[in-house]
Structure 1
Amino acid sequence: MDAGARPVVARAEPVITRLAPGIASLRSYERGWLRQDVVAGLVLTALLVPQGMAYAELAGLPPITGLYTTVLCLLGYAVLGPSRVLVLGPDSALGPMIAATVIPLAAAEGDPDRAVAYASLLAVMVGLITVLAGVFQLGFVAELLSRPTQIGYMNGLALTIVVSQLPKLFGFSVDADSLVDEAVGFVRGLAAGHAVGAALAIGVASLVVILGFQRLLPRVPGVLLAVVLAIAAVNLFDLQDRGVTAVGPMPEGFPPFDIPTVPLDDLWLLVAGALGIALVALTDTISTASAFSTRAGDEVDGDREMIGVGAANIAAGFFQGFPVSTSGSRTAVAAQNGAKTQVTGVVGAVAILLLLLLAPGLLRDLPQPTLAAVVIAASTSLADIGGLRRLRRQRRSDFRLALAAFLGVAFLGVLPGIAIAVGLSILNVFRRAWRPHQAVLGRVAGMAGYHDSQFTPATRHLPGLVIYRFDAPLFFANVRTFRDQVRHLARSEPRPRWIVVAAEPITDVDTTASDVLEELDLELNAAGTSLVFAELKTPVRQKIERYELTETIDPEHLFETITEAVHAYREQTGETWTEGPGPYSLR
């Protein structure tokens, strides 16, 4: 190679690192890791296969699509994902959302191929949304689900999943679109004698095996053991002749490449579902990545994670797959079994492909009640009853938010529920900024500084001086709350000569607030009270000067600290500290 070509190679390396961190990581791959990655990948496969099939059915799709999805998302993330150990795949939290989006559009014709086309295009849309979010550094959207609303939403989702799977666990089906309808249909099915004893027996036995091993021997793949035992039971006891429904024959070979197409009129309905799914997937991915990266001492690059998750979804969407997310349980299994890199996921994908190529009939006799048990077991990891109890004990307002999100999912549906959860999170932020904490500060004997009189009653005060703190930025929605409180303090008897605003918590002042402050200062000056600011941050002070507020508010009434403001007041008025809490209080 001539000398002129060398800079091209040098420049190409960081491009590969930036665009395909999975491939770039292979340059530092150590030979000793291979055995651990292979073992972890094979153990992981035992979990990937039954869960992929079960979550596909949860999404209202053929079980084989769960395997196609698993293969492609693992390979896609292995190339473009930044995390060494994160495992992606079909997810129990996304299943009901996919079903809620796809089934109403595809159910009219009852064609599974049509449902797959909708789900595949949904995966591509979710992928594009997350990739664009990563490219434009919009990782903050994952914070739109606050922890209380997330707890409520996930509990509602867990209940929805369990109720939807109970008929399958009992060996029959229910045609319903909501939690209430499914619960009513299940009870009516039981009353009508539709339950199949053999199906219930194998479903409950599978559930006991899965949950038992999760609790007692978490390193042993209880899901795989339950699947093997269930298939053996179906064959040994001819359970299909006794009414137990099995998965049946599945296609063999590689996942087929297909460009999904749907009627143009349905695209906007898919976009709405894709936005909700993308939000949940990003929230789950960033929280899971943060947890596992912290253990490994790595840092999380949220934007690259979004690109990696987007690539996994797009790859799945073009091979008859459906939207995916990060799985905390599968990532934990990989980590526990020594996974070092994304080679673990590649091994899992190759193992599933070999299963489809060499032994496609191996899962033919897997009973549907066992798949229901897999899903129900997974839903227990979504539920967080302890979190609800903790919120109720620690902060009732957050508990009410969680309860509202729970009821939204349970009674209005999964997609409206996620919209309610996001809306409640945003409203909660707005409420706290609109009605922030406020305080009148005072001196307390034996304590340095100035303290909130509500929690530490003041023992000394300066006559005619109020020190008032407003714990939020001043903007259009809350400036009138600020104005009304200052007016109340100014009208107190005896009328204060100075109202000192302890402004350190005020991180911003918008133009609406500026106009109100100007009017308020003129009003107070006319009544003989001065509005004084202490501890203004430099950026806020610069904005006040840019708004020309200093033409109204005396620049000499802007102090670096509260102590300086108090000292200036004493020099101007000659007042001295007086025993007692003082006459001024909030409304």
Structure 2
Amino acid sequence: MSGDDRAAPPSWQALVPGIAVLRGYRREWLGKDIVSGLVLSALLVPQGMAYAELANLPPVTGLYTSILCLIGYAIFGPSKVLVLGPDSALGSMIAATIVPLLLADGDPARAIALSSVLAILVGVIMVVAGLAKFGFIADLLSKPTQIGYMNGLALTIVISQLPKLLGFSIDAEGLLREVGAVLTGIVQDAANVTAAIIGLASLAGILLLNRLLPKLPSVLIVVVLTAIAVNIFDLGGRGVDTIGVLPQGFPPFTLPIVRWSDLPVLMLGAVAIAVVALADTMSTASAFAARRGERVQGNQEMVGIGAANIAAGFFQGFPVSTSGSRTAVAEQAGSRSQVTGLVGAAVITVLLVFATSLMQYVPQPTLGAIVIAAAFSLADLPATRRLWQQRRMEFALSVIALLGVAFLGVLPGIVIAVALSILNVFRRTWWPYQAELGKTPDRAGLHDLTRYPNAAVLPGLIVYRFDAPLIFANARMFSEAIRGLHDRSCDLRWIVIAAEPVTDVDTTAADMLEELDAWLNERSVSLVFAELKDPVREKIERYGLTRTIDPAHFFPTLDAALEQYVRETGATWRRTEPDT
């Protein structure tokens, strides 16, 4: 596709990729899509209910959400393989957004309305951003801060689910208080032994099956076995809480009603969820697209995720994102298109309409185990260790993001993570790498004198490289660096700026350059530019800098600048003397 094609306004057909998939659908795909849809539904049902409870919502809303988001993405999503649904990472963010808005009695109907409006807001943000081609928003979360955020999220999820896993409850907010409450409950024998056995056995079963027999639906197997155990041995009578009978029928279309005063909080949560969902989707989409030889359509992905969220929001659902684990299951089962998701939605619908009683014996500790197992997959300790080994600054950013999530909360944590990513980019522009360059006999070009202290230089000339655009944030640093070079150099005649890394010059930097050139001219030193990009050179001319900087002192290459200096001065290369 050409650049012009990408820039053209999308037609309605381009915004609805599901139509193109249906038109090009092959009969031989149907069998594999049906099988993979059946396999996928085995994961969607228990996970949907578990993640709904993580979000402080009734379990059935997880099934409602799964149905509508699968349908919405099948119509508007561009990927043939991605699977959307309730997500463990978003569950904590949803709870962090809606719980402060709930009444003292935690009214489930109000919680559903708040989460539905939250889903609609996320969807609208995504669709508008996709149509406006804001797919780059996913880049707001750098990899180190994303790793730290996910590690912190995994920690908070595990701590919050431990009481459910062990069969008791706590009333505490904040990581330290929750840890204290959990330890107190364990020490004071608040845990229900039977529930704890069910929960710990469920967790061990999921982890072992995932490791030893990864192709089996571990979550479904554990749910079925524990539900049978609860029924046969009447474990409900021993204090093991269960889901109970779910409401019967297809999710009803609902216009969620909330207070106007709720909207600012919901909007803040929606923005944070949209950023996380987009970053997660783009990383997952990129990984699977690379394996299939396909291209990621970032802006259309935003529209697809947005449509899925809006659909869920109008049917008592909550915000959703892409799931790497569910996508992997669908792909391994042979999925060929989004018909897989439609089959999964159909299976859940059949369950809700005809067989809701099947879920009544599913124990709550097992749902806690499902969430904790998912939280383990969020954490990435090997990547954290790699950051420590490769770049300590980015490791520090990762740790700060982790601590922000753990101690300040999920929503402040995502704000901190995004802010750290932006500040890290700004830091590199504010304090860029700088170097004086010299010539080495065994390597082409000019090289950093700090790495090659015996490199040769031309007397009276300094070649200086500044690895960033010249903007208001670093203009003073650049000026002081050049003045410092002048002050410590004898018989200086030229300062040549190796300007290839300078991708921009703003008006603040232009004023600085004009003052700096005048200051150097008073001291019989010329400011010279080499390898300046044409767009940047045009800006300098538009700013009128060539009034002070000699137009003849702009050279296309460093070699051309050095040759001109040698012609004018007769200087020859000589080795520098290393400092002792």
Query: Same fold judged by TM-score > 0.5?
Result: yes
| Counterpart AA for 2:459 | P
Q: Which residue number corresponds to residue 405 of structure 1?
A: 401
Q: Distance in 2 between matches of 1:493 and 1:24?
A: 68
The alpha carbon displacement at 1:457 in A equals 2.3
State how far apart, in whole Å, the 2-side matches of 1:157 and 1:449 are: 48
Alignment of 1:166-315 (within 5 A): 166-315=162-311
Q: How far apart, CA to CA, are the structure 1 residues paired with 2:90 and 2:442?
A: 57
Question: Aligned partner of 1:328: which letter?
Answer: G
Aligned partner of residue 88 in structure 2, secondary structure: coil
The CA distance in 2 between the partners of 1:26 and 1:140, in whole Å, is: 29
Q: 1:508 aligns with which of 501, 504, 507?
A: 504
Q: Report how far residue 490 of structure 1 moved.
A: 0.8
| Paired residues of 1:451 and 1:458 also in contact (CA < 8 A) | no
Alignment counterpart, residue 447 of structure 1, candidates 431, 434, 443? 443
Amino acid at match of 1:354: V
Are 1:327 and 2:323 an aligned pair?
yes
- Match 2:378 to one of 378, 382, 386: 382
Q: Please give the root-mean-square deviation of Cα atoms over the aligned residues, in Å.
A: 1.2
Native 8 Å contact 1:170 1:196 kept in 2: yes
2:96 to 79, 83, 100: 100
Question: Counterpart amino acid of 1:261?
Answer: I
Instruction: List gaps (5 residues or longer) in structure 1.
Output: 1-13
- State the match for 1:8 in structure 2: none
- Report if aligned partners of 1:124, 1:317 keep a CA contact under 8 Å in 2: yes
Q: 2:453–2:576: 8 Å Cα contact kept in structure 1?
A: no
Query: How far off is 1:574 after superposition?
Result: 1.4
Cα shift readout 1:213-261 (whole Å, capped 9, x = no counterpart): 1111111000000000000110121111111000112100010110011
Query: Does structure 1 residue 486 correspond to structure 2 residue 457?
Result: no
Give yes or no for the alignment of 1:115 onto 2:85: no
The answer to whether the aligner puts 1:130 opposite 2:126 as a matched pair is yes
Q: In structure 1, how many angstroms separate the alpha carbons of the residues matched to 2:67 and 2:575?
A: 75
Q: 2:151–2:379: 8 Å Cα contact kept in structure 1?
A: yes
Does the 8 A contact of 2:439 with 2:445 survive in 1? yes
User: 2 CA distance for matches of 1:187 and 1:582?
Assistant: 61
Aligned to 2:411: 415
Q: CA-to-partner distance for each residue in 1:499-529, whole Å, 9 max, x for gaps?
A: 0000000000001000000000000010111
Cα-to-partner distance string for 1:94-147 (whole Å, 9 max, x where unaligned):
000000000110143421111000000000000000001101011111100000
Aligned to 2:6: none
Q: Is the 8 A contact 2:388 2:395 kept in 1?
A: yes
Unpaired runs of at least 5, structure 2: 1-9
Q: 1-side partners of 2:357 and 2:463: how far apart?
A: 78
Displacement of 1:19: 2.2
Question: Offset at 1:189?
Answer: 1.2
The answer to whether structure 1 residue 344 and structure 2 residue 349 are counterparts is: no
Question: Offset at 1:416?
Answer: 0.3
Corresponding residue for residue 34 of structure 1: 30
> Partners of 1:16 and 1:459 in 2: how far apart?
62
Q: In 1, are the aligned partners of 2:210 and 2:218 still within 8 Å (CA)?
A: yes
Q: Which residue of the other structure, out of 153, 157, 164, is the alignment partner of 1:157? A: 153
What is the Cα deviation at residue 387 of structure 1? 1.1
Q: Deviations over 1:276-313 (max 9, x none)?
A: 00100000111111111111111011000000000000
> How far has the Cα of 1:573 moved from its partner?
1.1
TM-superposed deviation, 1:582? 7.8
Report runs of 4+ in structure 1 exceeding 4 Å deviation: none
**Within 1, Cα distance between the matches of 2:15 and 2:279?**
22
Aligned with 1:553 (options 549, 562, 570): 549
SS at match of 1:189: helix
Contact 2:454–2:575 (CA under 8 A) maintained in structure 1: no
In the alignment, is the contact (CA less than 8 A) between 1:16 and 1:24 conserved in 2?
Answer: no
Q: How does 1:468-547 map to 2 (within 5 A)?
A: 468-547=464-543
Q: Equivalent of 1:21, from 17, 21, 25?
A: 17
Question: Aligned pair 1:462/2:451, yes or no?
Answer: no
Moved more, 62-71 or 200-209: 200-209
Task: Tell me the distance in 2 between the aligned counterparts of 1:51 and 1:485.
Answer: 58
SS of the aligned residue for 1:448 comes to coil
Contact 2:449 2:455 in 1 (8 A): no
**Paired amino acid for 2:79:** S
Further displaced range: 99-108 or 333-342: 99-108
